[in-house]
């Protein structure tokens, strides 16, 4: 640590942050204590995520009726903003037994006509998807959900999708990696990006008080160390080293150049680990030595994650100011259930003060192949001293799981106890202050030869989640990926369970 604190940098950073956010945002950065107390939750939430193009392809009435009648859905998490145009390609023309490919699914952006006044403070103010200009999901879908007694939630999904970079201003807010290269991830410390994210919450909630019943925000991204360790959830780039992050690092007393040097060394080391060229003292010892030599590596990783948590807190505080009674929550990516490293830094206890509910990706069918690939990745990085079959028993102990060997979980999926375990862990971690909605795997795509969903799997996962005390469930991931028999099995099961626990 250098302690080369530069007052001018601090003034500059505060200046740009307040200029970008406005005084109201700066005030909203702190979540008032008890912000969630006014929230009114629906009992026994059964949710589902629906892509924008489904409404035009399948028809709004038809899709809502199917979801309500077959799957017992009472809460529609409707993509109001979707950064991912690619999920259509995973099913391609081979949709399951419902739906027609409608226009769209090709570009990212907002799927409602937002008022530009909410984006006056940011250059990121043009992002209306061109896919289907005739469709405004809030105007067109929300009233039809409402007359059916279903809640319409805005669902704002913000991964580091390369498609986002085509919108004006996004390259300007991109994270800069350790080698000075621009990435496809937007930087949470860039004031324009923060103002854009907060603007979307306002533009969704404020003008649509009678139609939008709640809001879910999601972003499947991780800090530089988790990205280096990798796995299926890593985004590209050891980042961020932009001028805003550098200034913030300096304010924390972290020597930016030392952090950069540590990450370069770690990057080189992981390349060696991936080739399994064992250092004299082994892989884990070498990894620890780099952390000891460059403690700035962990400090920079924490800087990224703290910034991410700050954004979550600002979003929550903003939503609670506009609509204190409406639930605001987060999608939690599945890596929180896989990675001991990511789980350490994305601590449920910290999320508890900034959310009314959490939808947790704990997909047990696709989770088998996914977890098996993650164990392999650990054996190419931090735990390269071991082979996947050797690491797996220790890894399961570390994570509290009782699961089969990697080859078996790949073929058979994870035992439903995995869903129960994560439900309990999240409920305990958040101290009962947050509603927990596990995502139930209904045909989450997996590879050829990997586990695929059956109706029995859905029944077992629902029983595991609700048996472990979940406050509701969300069919996952996307409605257009699901076979109706699987969805109907889930619908029947929740009906049976909720009839016993009205």
The single residue among 78, 242, 414, 420 that binds Zn ion, judged by CB under 5 A, is 242
By CB under 5 A, which span of 110-118, 188-196, 346-354, 390-398 interacts with Zn ion? 188-196
**Whether residue 359 has a cis bond before it, omega within 30° of 0:** no
13 binds Zn ion per the rule CB under 5 A: no
Upper half-sphere CA count for residue 448 (Cβ side, 13 Å): 0
Cα separation, 16 vs 10, in Å, equals: 10
Nearer CB in complex with Zn ion: 19/100: 19
Q: Alpha-carbon torsion 476, 482, 486, 491, what sign? A: positive
Residue span 212-241 as binding mask against Zn ion, x where in contact by CB under 5 A, dash where not: ----------------------------x-
By CB under 5 A, which span of 76-84, 115-123, 187-195, 379-387 interacts with Zn ion? 187-195
The single residue among 64, 245, 247, 464 that binds Zn ion, judged by CB under 5 A, is 245
Six-digit token pair at 264? 């370069």
By CB under 5 A, which span of 136-144, 219-227, 245-253, 476-484 interacts with Zn ion? 245-253
CB of 2 to Zn ion, least distance (A): 19
The three-class DSSP label of residue 360 is strand
Size of the site for Zn ion (CB under 5 A): 6
CB of 311 to Zn ion, least distance (A): 12
Residue span 364-393 as binding mask against Zn ion, x where in contact by CB under 5 A, dash where not: ------------------------------
Cα separation, 222 vs 191, in Å, equals: 19
189 binds Zn ion per the rule CB under 5 A: yes
Nearer CB in complex with Zn ion: 78/173: 173
Nearer CB in complex with Zn ion: 203/254: 254
Residues 6+ apart with CB under 8 A from 104: 51, 52, 53, 56, 129, 131, 132, 135
Angle (CA) 434 471 205, round 5°: 60
307 binds Zn ion per the rule CB under 5 A: no
Question: Which residue, among 340, 332, 339, has the nearest Cα to 360 in the 3D structure?
Answer: 332
By CB under 5 A, which span of 180-188, 218-226, 288-296, 401-409 interacts with Zn ion? 180-188
Nearer CB in complex with Zn ion: 124/391: 124
The per-residue DSSP string of 114-146 comes to --GGGGTT-S----B-SS-TT--HHHHTHHHHH
Cα separation, 414 vs 406, in Å, equals: 10
Binding site for Zn ion (CB under 5 A): 187, 189, 240, 242, 244-245
């Amino acid at each position: 640590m250098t302690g080369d604190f530069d007052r001018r940098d601090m003034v500059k950073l505060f200046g740009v942050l307040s200029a970008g956010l406005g005084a109201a945002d700066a005030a909203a950065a702190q979540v008032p204590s008890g912000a969630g107390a006014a929230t009114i939750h629906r009992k026994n939430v059964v949710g589902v995520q629906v892509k924008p193009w489904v409404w035009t392809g399948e028809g709004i009435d038809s899709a809502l009726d199917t979801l309500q009648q077959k799957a017992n859905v009472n809460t529609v998490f409707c993509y109001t903003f979707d950064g991912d145009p690619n999920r259509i390609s995973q099913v391609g023309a081979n949709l399951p037994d419902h739906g027609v490919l409608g226009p769209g699914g090709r570009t990212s952006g907002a799927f409602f006509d937002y008022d530009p006044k909410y984006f006056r403070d940011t250059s990121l103010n043009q992002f209306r998807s061109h896919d289907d200009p005739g469709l405004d999901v809030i105007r067109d879908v929300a009233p039809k959900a409402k007359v059916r007694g279903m809640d319409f939630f805005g669902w704002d999904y913000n991964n580091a999708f390369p498609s986002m970079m085509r919108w004006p201003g996004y390259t300007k807010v991109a994270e800069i990696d350790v080698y000075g290269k621009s990435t496809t991830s937007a930087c949470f410390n860039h004031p324009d990006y923060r103002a854009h994210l907060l603007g979307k919450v306002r533009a969704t909630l404020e003008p649509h008080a009678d139609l939008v019943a709640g809001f879910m925000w999601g972003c499947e991204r991780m800090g530089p160390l988790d990205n280096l360790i990798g796995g299926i959830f890593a985004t590209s780039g050891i980042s961020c080293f932009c001028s805003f992050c550098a200034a913030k690092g300096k304010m924390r007393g972290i020597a930016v150049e030392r952090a950069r040097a540590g990450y370069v060394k770690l990057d080189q080391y992981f390349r060696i680990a991936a080739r399994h060229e064992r250092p004299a003292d082994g892989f884990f010892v070498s990894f620890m030595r780099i952390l000891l030599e460059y403690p700035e590596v962990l400090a920079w990783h924490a800087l990224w994650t703290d910034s991410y948590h700050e954004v979550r807190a600002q979003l929550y505080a903003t939503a609670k100011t506009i609509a204190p009674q409406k639930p605001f929550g987060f999608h939690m990516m599945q890596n929180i259930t896989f990675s001991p490293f990511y789980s350490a830094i994305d601590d449920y206890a910290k999320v508890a003060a900034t959310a009314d509910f959490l939808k947790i990706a704990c997909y047990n069918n696709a989770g088998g192949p996914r977890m098996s690939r993650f164990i392999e990745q650990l054996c190419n990085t931090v735990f390269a001293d071991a082979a996947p079959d050797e690491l797996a028993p220790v890894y399961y102990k570390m994570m509290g799981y009782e699961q089969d060997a990697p080859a078996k979980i790949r073929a058979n999926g994870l035992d439903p106890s995995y869903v129960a375990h994560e439900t309990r862990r999240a409920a305990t971690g958040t101290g009962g202050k947050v509603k927990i909605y596990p995502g139930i795997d209904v045909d989450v795509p997996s590879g050829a030869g990997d586990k695929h969903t059956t109706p029995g799997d859905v029944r077992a996962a629902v029983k595991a989640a609700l048996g472990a005390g979940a406050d509701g469930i969300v069919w996952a991931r996307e409605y257009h990926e699901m076979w109706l028999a699987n969805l109907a099995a889930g619908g029947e099961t929740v009906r049976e369970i909720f009839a016993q626990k009205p």
